[in-house]
């Protein structure tokens, strides 16, 4: 293990020059419209796969909140994801693949873990214990704007000023919908805090993905970013799961068991493989706008899985948000 750590540290140092060369080469080709369009398409496709993976998260969490205590659900999801990540990292170590991060990466890994492993899941289930899944699905449309803002400020990205017009319009539409649909209450503030933490985790995870892909000349930056964030959170996940372990196991049906497995393995782990790769390739600010489609998908799943009813405002807000996604991508590269 110590030799692996030393070798990995040397690999990180020796790869710095190649990483710089890779960034310079990408910068040189960035002026090529065909190259930019190809990267945008690849990034959008990967991010869209991640968004589709995340879409069932709110409906499934709402379904389980009525059967399991909120903290039991949050730590069960965290623990399942951590176990899956540890299996993945152990397999890479067994295959002698570069796996261990350098010490300089630990702060970014910790911020990723705080955002998407600890903060977002915990606050989300707490909010959904008091809010309808349809409401949470649409208000989560604020995630792309917050992610874009943090991507520009923390992710060292540049976008056209015109990009912000539809991004802000889509977010304002989301806020209007939330206030029109449901009076403001403390649970809404908790949901908004979850969104901010989730966006922070997206940005730091995408930065790790981009840097690891460049330095190691591989496409495994996304899996490694979320895997190490989950591994770092494993002690907290285990302690929380043991502390909130129920005296009697809940009598879950087959769908309930499948929902927990999905939240822990797909929503918490596998979905980030695609999403982080999409943000790293296509740009955090631009690719994150595809998340505005997620409320539309989550709304449909809330109706199908939970039997919740929709009003005309739900459909109108979702349609307006999807239009803002399309327009933001069109204007993102405008000069």
Is residue 208 domain-resident? yes
Instruction: Decide: 232 and 109 in contact? Cβ < 8 Å.
Output: yes
Classified as helix, coil or strand, 322 is helix
Domain assignment present for 25: no
Asked if residue 8 belongs to a domain, the reply is no
Give the CA count within 13 Å in the CB-facing half-sphere of 93: 15
Residue 12 is assigned to a structural domain of this protein: no
User: Is position 149 within any domain?
Assistant: yes
Distance, CA of 197 to CA of 168 (rounded, Å): 19
pTM attached to this predicted model: 0.78
Q: What is the pLDDT of residue 169?
A: 84
Q: What is the pLDDT of residues 47-79, one digit of tens each?
A: 889 889 998 998 998 888 878 888 888 899 999
Do the domain assignments include residue 13?
Answer: no
What pLDDT sits at residue 18? 47
In tens, the pLDDT along 74-105 reads 899 999 999 999 999 999 888 877 777 888 88
Q: Give the model's pLDDT for residue 27.
A: 46
Q: Read out DSSP for 153-185?
A: HHS-----GGGHHHHHHHHHHHHHHHHHHS---
Q: Quote the domain boundaries for residue 237.
A: 33-331
Q: Mean pLDDT across the chain, nearest whole number?
A: 78
Read off the pLDDT band of 2 (50, 70, 90).
Answer: very low
Q: What is the DSSP letter of 100?
A: P
139: pLDDT strictly greater than 80: no
**Which of 45-59, 146-160, 273-287 has the least mean pLDDT?**
146-160
Residue 273 lies in a domain: yes
CA dist 18 and 317 (Å) reads 46
In this prediction, residue 170 carries a pLDDT of 78
The better pLDDT of the pair 15, 197 is held by: 197
Question: What does each C-alpha distance from 148 to 139, 166, 203 come to in angstroms?
Answer: 16, 12, 9
Number of domains in the chain: 1
- Indicate whether 16 belongs to any domain: no
């Amino acid at each position: 293990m110590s030799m692996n750590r030393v070798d990995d540290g040397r690999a990180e140092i020796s790869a710095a020059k190649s990483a710089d060369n890779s960034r310079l080469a990408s910068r040189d080709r960035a002026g090529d419209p065909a190259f930019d369009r190809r990267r945008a398409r690849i990034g959008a496709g990967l991010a869209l796969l991640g968004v589709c993976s995340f879409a069932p998260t709110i409906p499934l969490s709402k379904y389980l909140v009525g059967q399991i205590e909120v903290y039991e659900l949050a730590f069960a999801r965290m623990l399942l994801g951590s176990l899956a990540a540890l299996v993945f990292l152990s397999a890479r170590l067994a295959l002698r693949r570069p796996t261990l991060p350098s010490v300089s990466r630990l702060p970014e890994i910790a911020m990723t873990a705080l955002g998407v492993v600890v903060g977002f899941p915990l606050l989300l289930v707490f909010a959904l214990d008091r809010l309808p899944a349809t409401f949470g699905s649409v208000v989560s449309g604020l995630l792309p704007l917050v992610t874009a803002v943090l991507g520009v400020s923390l992710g060292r990205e540049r976008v056209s000023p015109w990009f912000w017009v539809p991004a802000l319009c889509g977010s304002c539409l989301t806020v209007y919908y939330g206030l029109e649909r449901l009076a403001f209450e403390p649970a809404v503030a908790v949901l908004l805090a979850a969104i901010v933490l989730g966006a922070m985790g997206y940005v730091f995870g995408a930065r790790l993905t981009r840097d690891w892909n460049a330095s190691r000349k591989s496409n495994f930056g996304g899996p490694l970013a979320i895997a190490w964030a989950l591994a770092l959170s494993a002690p907290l996940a285990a302690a929380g799961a043991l502390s909130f372990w129920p005296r009697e196991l809940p009598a879950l049906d087959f769908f309930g068991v499948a929902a927990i497995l999905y939240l822990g393995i797909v929503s918490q782990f596998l979905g980030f493989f695609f999403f982080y790769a999409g943000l790293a390739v296509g740009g955090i600010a631009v690719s994150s706008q595809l998340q505005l489609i997620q409320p539309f998908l989550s709304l449909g799943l809330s109706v199908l899985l939970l039997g919740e009813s929709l009003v005309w405002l739900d459909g109108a807000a979702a349609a307006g948000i999807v239009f803002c996604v399309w327009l933001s991508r069109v204007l993102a590269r405008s000069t």
